[in-house]
Amino acid sequence: MRIFDLHCDTLYRAFTEKKSIIRNNFEISVERGSKFDEWIQCMAVWIPDNIRGENAERLVENCCFLLDIELAKCTAENIDIAKIDNVSEMKSKSNIILTIEGGAALNGKLENISRYRKLGVRAMTLTWNSQCEIGDGAEVENPKGITDFGKRAVKEMERCGIVVDVSHASDKLFYDVSEIAERPFIATHSNSRSVCNHRRNLTDEQFNIIKSSGGIVGINFHKYFLAENNQSVGDIVKHIEHFLSLGGEDTVALGTDFDGGELSADINGIEDMHKIFNELSRLNYTDTLIDKLFFKNAFNFFQSFDI
């Protein structure tokens, strides 16, 4: 089985809890992820809504420094994993792509976009749930959408090769981005609002806009985005199936949100990915299609976005 996961908060958790990404009691560890045939893990530097200004910049720098230290330890232990800038550069069986969750990381400075790109950042979620210099997140009442700085930031991200991620965006911000984006944009960890009516999820129209742009959508395992109660693997599959019914065979991917949310009782972490694979197989989805959902769609997207 091959896994390409568009979003987890494991790196942030390791930094704040002073733990290792190699071996831990988290929902993802390098040790467990490396057991898959191929594994590409997007690791986000999460910027909580109570961290702003220079503290946000410093958090990005510290998490990048921690990742470099952890990968050096992997090299010393002969663990085959690497941080990659472009998927076409893959030489290891397991790979990490660095991302940022929250445009507050920019601290209102456009020059930070190219700086973070040089650190290896390949995607950035424009907001978390509240406001930042780019615009309004999903929990903002009466959102105003994208700011003038946000418009410039989107253009600069596209120029530098950092993928625009609209997970956590308010509806107003989403549509503003869809009007100004010149390159494909994505939702790294967002589900279907038709299946679970939560403001963090995407409407069918929003999914189709992402699909039409050439972007991808990662299915989020956070239980409250799956169903109101009694969440299970079956609910993950319901979101996949709904997006597939909208023509999303080349658009649907995985964005687990491991170590950043609350999981259903039957999912403990990355080691349980086979449960979703098995349920899709039971429903007569082909191995070829499942591989697209689990790996190839995300791989193809990043390969086409490489600059």
Which pLDDT band holds residue 307 (cuts at 50, 70, 90)? Answer: low
Residues facing residue 164 across a β-bridge? 124
pLDDT tens digits along 22-80:
999 999 999 999 999 999 999 999 999 999 999 999 999 999 999 999 999 999 999 99
* Helix (H/G/I), strand (E/B), else coil: 56: helix
Which pLDDT band holds residue 205 (cuts at 50, 70, 90)? Answer: very high
pLDDT tens digits along 90-99:
889 999 999 9
pLDDT tens digits along 232-288:
999 999 999 999 999 999 999 999 999 999 999 999 999 999 999 999 999 999 999
pLDDT in the model for residue 274: 98
Whether the pLDDT of residue 305 is over 90: the answer is: no
Mean pLDDT of 218-226: 98
CA distance 82 to 135: 33
Residues facing residue 121 across a β-bridge? 98
pLDDT tens digits along 155-184:
999 999 999 999 999 999 999 999 999 999
Q: Which domain holds residue 67?
A: 2-305
Token pair in block for residue 239: 């979101």
Whether the pLDDT of residue 306 is over 80: the answer is: no
pLDDT tens digits along 12-29:
999 999 999 999 999 999
pLDDT tens digits along 177-202:
999 999 999 999 999 999 999 999 99
pLDDT in the model for residue 100: 98
Q: What are phi and psi of 96, to 5 degrees?
A: -120, 135
Whether the pLDDT of residue 229 is over 60: the answer is: yes
Mean pLDDT of 6-17: 98
C-beta neighbour count of 299 within 10 angstroms: 19
- For the chain, what is the mean pLDDT? 97
The count of domains in the chain is 1
C-beta neighbour count of 83 within 10 angstroms: 17
pLDDT in the model for residue 120: 95
pLDDT in the model for residue 91: 87
CATH of the domain at 124: 3.20.20.140
pLDDT tens digits along 101-140:
999 999 999 999 999 999 999 999 999 999 999 999 999 9
Class of residue 166 by CB neighbours under 10 A (exposed 0-12, middle 13-18, buried 19+): buried
